[in-house]
Structure 1
């Protein structure tokens, strides 16, 4: 199931999808993100994660334009504690290394530190490989 979230202009700024075969919630953010879009989108991704009891999230910011530090405090003090409470254990964050969004992602990583297992990647494939390895380490059947 794919959820598309639109801004007030009717443009999609986030798609959220649970991939059952790999047990990952995939968030694909697009364009510039306002505080309201971040709160709405992050809450939607958390709802999907909770609904499917999924502990692994791939957050793709490779198509985000500009920083999102304006929502960093909310993410670290509101969203992240709820995500951890609902069972999120691993958060792969994909950014374009040349973007302002990468700076925001590094700030988020610093703020979350040991509260949530989070890594930053340059590609979706690298993020998925890390999540797959984490899943195998927790359930090495």
Structure 2
């Protein structure tokens, strides 16, 4: 992204993912809603078609959209969401051209493994129990 970002950035994340939920907790603690909006794609009232992206695409790769409509995905979505929360110094290595291919490989591996990590403790365990009913973790595809 070469131009000045058009805030806010809307980050679409999977709230059922324990690791993702931990990262979102951190971002939420630091973010200003004028710069970062967080949308949980795992909620029943979220409909992917309303934003023009399929649910599987959102689940397979992190997506974020700036106020001007420009999309960023994967590592770039991570980079810009952390910048929006004022934590950009922690993601500086994502901008290093020599390291970027290796980080992309790591990100793709994480995306493939993520469905198998749902056994990890969720930071908001009560969130999994809705309407006095608890549902077991989803089975990986």
State the TM-score, normalizing by the size of structure 1. 0.27
Instruction: Return the TM-score normalized by structure 2.
Output: 0.27
Query: Which structure's residues are more often strand, by fraction?
Result: 1
Larger relative contact order, structure 1 or 2 (CA cutoff 8 Å, min sep 6):
2
| Bigger Rg, structure 1 or 2 | 2
